[in-house]
Amino acid sequence: MRTANLQDQNELIRASNRPRGRFQIFSGQTGESSGGMGGGEDNHQRFARLVLPHLGDAYSLARWITANRTDAEDIVQEASLRAFRAIASVAEGNSRAWLLTIVCNTAYTWLRNNRPSALVIVDDLEAVERTQVATTDLDRETPETALIAKTDAASLETAVAELPPAYRETLVLRDVQGLGYREISQVTGVPIGTVMSRLARGRARVIKTIGGKSL
Partner 1 sequence: MTRAASYEDAVLRVHAYVDGELDPANALGVEASMAADPALAAEHERIDVFRRLVREHLPREEPPLGLRARVEAAVGMRRARMQPSWRALAASIAVTAVVASGATSMLLAPSGTKTAREGIVDDHIRSLMASQPVDVTSSDRHTVKPWFNGRIPQSPRVVDLGKDFPLVGGRIDVVGGTPVPTLVYGHGKHLISLTAVSAAGHANSTPTLSEEGGYNIVRWTEGEVTYWAVSDTSAPELEKFAESFRAAPPDR
Residues sharing a CB contact under 8 Å with residue 32, sequence separation 6 or more, in sequence order: none
* Distance, CA of 16 to CA of 108 (rounded, Å): 7
Closest contact distance (angstroms) between CB of 101 and partner 1 is 17
Binding segment (CB under 8 A) for partner 1, from list 5-13, 20-28, 94-102, 206-214: 206-214
DSSP 125-153: HHHHHHH--SSSTTSS----HHHHHT--H
* Distance, CA of 75 to CA of 72 (rounded, Å): 5
First to last CA, the chain: 14
Binding segment (CB under 8 A) for partner 1, from list 7-15, 23-31, 112-120, 130-138: 130-138
Binding segment (CB under 8 A) for partner 1, from list 3-11, 21-29, 32-40, 43-51: 43-51
Per CB under 8 A, residues contacting partner 1 are 44, 47-48, 52, 55-60, 63, 69-70, 73-74, 76-77, 80-81, 84, 133-135, 138, 140, 142, 145, 148-149, 151-153, 156-157, 160, 174-177, 180-181, 196-197, 199-200, 203, 206-207, 210
